[in-house]
Structure 1
Amino acid sequence: MISNRLLQESLEDFKEIVRLPMALYDRNCTCVAGAENMAPEKEVFQTFCNSSADMQALGNRYLFRVGDGESGYILSVSGDEKDTYPMGRLAVRQLERILEIGYSREDRNQFIHNLLLDNLMPVDIANYARQMHIGPECRWGVFLVEGKECEAFDIQNILKSVPEIRNTDFIASMEEDCVAVIRRLEDKDGEQYSHVFAEVLTNAVQRELKKRIRTSYGTLATSLREVSRSYKEARMALDVAEIFYADENVIAYEELGIGRLIYQLPIPLCEMFIKEVFGDYDPSTLDEEILTTVYQFMENDLNLSETSRQLFVHRNTLVYRLEKLQKTIGLDIRQFEDAMTFKIAMMVFDYMKYLREKRE
């Protein structure tokens, strides 16, 4: 949180400029900066704290509310001059700016880490939101920028210099090669905004590091409390895309399709399904030419003529390859149901292969 030393230095600067005695108190009437002998009577102080007023005049003294809630402060300003009130208001404005941006980098980063990892109580999140003047209606987007063979430190520094990054964005390293960007979305930011912004982040880092960069994002969070959920979605999107959509550089959690479903299946169920489809046959031994043919055939909606044209092979050659696969595993890819069974079975097989390699 903001240090009392910074508040003390700020009040000393105000006093030197406006020539008015000032003191800052917490909600327990404890002086945190300024002259301690300026405290009002305890009963008067408590009455003002419990009221909804922003200011109260006590003779030649003014009490001002600084910040909101239990984490706010009370500023006491004394003086007979006519400018006492406006100078006090000016000091309040400056103090609130300090409270908003005066958190140390370590505190800010620690808060973001704990928020993303769901390590904060709701009351702590609410207090921080009040300190930062973040309304409950704010929408948030969570983006994960990952670069294999890249350092998170380098990615983070590049992201901070991207022109599209706003002062209100949070940027935090989450893993050795992954950086999170948490953005407070504006009303004008529509449905396609997240994808466009993810592309901007990807291209900016890729251009500097000359490495392949992937960026994922979760569904929109409608409050700070939901940011951790969106982060988990973005993290899952990177993992799922690594298995099933290896060519994609921008990955949306909502567009993972059947890959997201398979990723969450229990291992025994996956093994049972593979056994049911392939029997004792090992799918890893399938001929690469056959697999390329089958996948192209599926992309063309099981259209023989179009597939043969794109693969530059005779129609009979294409039919021969499909029949060869049918003899091997018993599935006729020309039939929609068998084609879908094969596609899902191969995705499940790729998922299990990924898990084995990850354990090794």
Structure 2
Amino acid sequence: MYNFRAFLQDLSHSTNIKFNLVSEDGSLVFESNSDLSSAELFILPVYLGKAKAILSANKRYEICSTLLKYTIENKYREFFSLREQFLIDILEGKEVSTDKIERSIPFLSNGCEVLVVSVEGSRYEALNIIRQLYKEQDVLSSAFGDNVVIIGNFEDIEDHAKSIRDSIASDLYCKSYVSFSNRVFDSVSIKKAYEDAKECMTLGKKFGLKEEIFNYNKMLFEKIVYNVSTSVKGELLVIFKEKFNLFDSEMITTIDEFVNCGLNISDAARKLYIHRNTLIYRLDKISKETGFDIRNFKEATVFIIAFLVWKENKWL
């Protein structure tokens, strides 16, 4: 919203009208008039998209209020619809001038991240929540395809991804998934970052990964498994499918957590809230049922590949 505030500053300066703009929840959008008492002010509702705000200025400018309201509302619509369209054009691979990109995404030259959000609910409601979450920051977001795409300069990308997921869960009461890839510095890289984030979203869902936050740089193993030939996947399913089908949810969770903890028994037992000996008992049972001891790295590698292939086949 920083560029929009710059417009409001220019508008106040060029018209010589000092005014304040406050959102419905009381947060300050813009202020150029801090000296007047309430008795000297007129108040007017202004709509910034679907959000209501209150404009206040000296009563001697009340005759200009309708024009001021129209100018602000129209510029807001123009500014945000244009920025969204530029983002969509970039994601679709269309040519966008450097000048337009610099105006629409001024933070790009300093580096930014692209996040893809998939919601088991209305993506438009999720988009509204995301925009509310970042209303004080220069972050660009838009619905694109079946997802919501977000571009911004995030200090800790994983923390932001978790915050987005948690906000959607608490407000919409539905599950969401957030994926992201590498930091980018130009418009060409935005499309590549989006494609990478979208790919790891697909992989995360396809393999039924427990996490709801997917980092492209941490999913190389899943990418390799996904690209294993159909014939090899078929061989693995012949060996493992019936055995995995017999495992209950407790055993599946045990495998997931043990793998996520890097085959570390102590860490996995702690994450599962069970005694170390209980975990060892379960691992022995897995070894007996499948013929593969996943405490052994080489056997674990084959087992994990087969486990992911089984998950992929299960979700088809």
TM-score tier, shorter chain, comes to 0.5 to 0.7
Output the CA distance in 2 between the equivalents of 1:220 and 1:141: 5
Out of 111, 126, 131, the residue aligned to residue 139 of structure 1 is 111
Out of 218, 222, 226, the residue aligned to residue 259 of structure 1 is 222
User: Quick one: which amino acid aligns to residue 301 of structure 1?
Assistant: L
State the SS of the aligned residue for 1:161: helix
Query: Do the aligned partners of residues 110 and 292 (structure 1) sit closer, same or farther apart at CA in structure 2, a change above 3 Å counting?
Result: closer
User: Quick one: which amino acid aligns to residue 109 of structure 1?
Assistant: E
* Paired residues of 1:140 and 1:223 also in contact (CA < 8 A): no
The two structures have a TM-score, normalised by structure 1, of: 0.55
Runs of 5+ in structure 2 lacking a partner? 1-9, 17-74
Shift of 1:348: 2.2
Shift of 1:251: 1.9
Shift of 1:350: 2.1
Aligned length: 241
Out of 301, 316, 323, the residue aligned to residue 263 of structure 2 is 301
* Paired residues of 2:293 and 2:300 also in contact (CA < 8 A): yes
CA deviation vs aligned residue, 1:131-175 (integer Å, no higher than 9, x gap): 448377331211122211x1111111111211x444532110013
| Superposition RMSD in Å | 3.8
Query: Do the aligned partners of residues 253 and 323 (structure 1) sit closer, same or farther apart at CA in structure 2, a change above 3 Å counting?
Result: same
* Paired residues of 1:237 and 1:256 also in contact (CA < 8 A): yes
Runs of 5+ in structure 1 lacking a partner? 1-9, 18-99
Q: Does 1:108 align with 2:73?
A: no
Aligned residues with identical type, % of pairs: 15
Q: Does 1:173 align with 2:136?
A: no
* Paired residues of 1:144 and 1:179 also in contact (CA < 8 A): yes
- Structure 1 counterpart of 2:130: 159
State the SS of the aligned residue for 2:163: helix
The two structures have a TM-score, normalised by structure 2, of: 0.62
CA deviation vs aligned residue, 1:246-284 (integer Å, no higher than 9, x gap): 321222111224112223x15xx1432441684596455
User: Quick one: which amino acid aligns to residue 204 of structure 2?
Assistant: A
State the SS of the aligned residue for 1:216: strand
Q: Which has the higher helix share?
A: 2
Out of 345, 348, 351, the residue aligned to residue 309 of structure 2 is 348
Shift of 1:226: 0.9
Shift of 1:335: 3.6
Out of 287, 299, 304, the residue aligned to residue 247 of structure 2 is 287
CA deviation vs aligned residue, 1:327-359 (integer Å, no higher than 9, x gap): xxxx454543122211112212322443xx2xx
User: Quick one: which amino acid aligns to residue 88 of structure 2?
Assistant: H
- Structure 2 counterpart of 1:325: 290
Bigger radius of gyration: 1
- Structure 1 counterpart of 2:162: 199
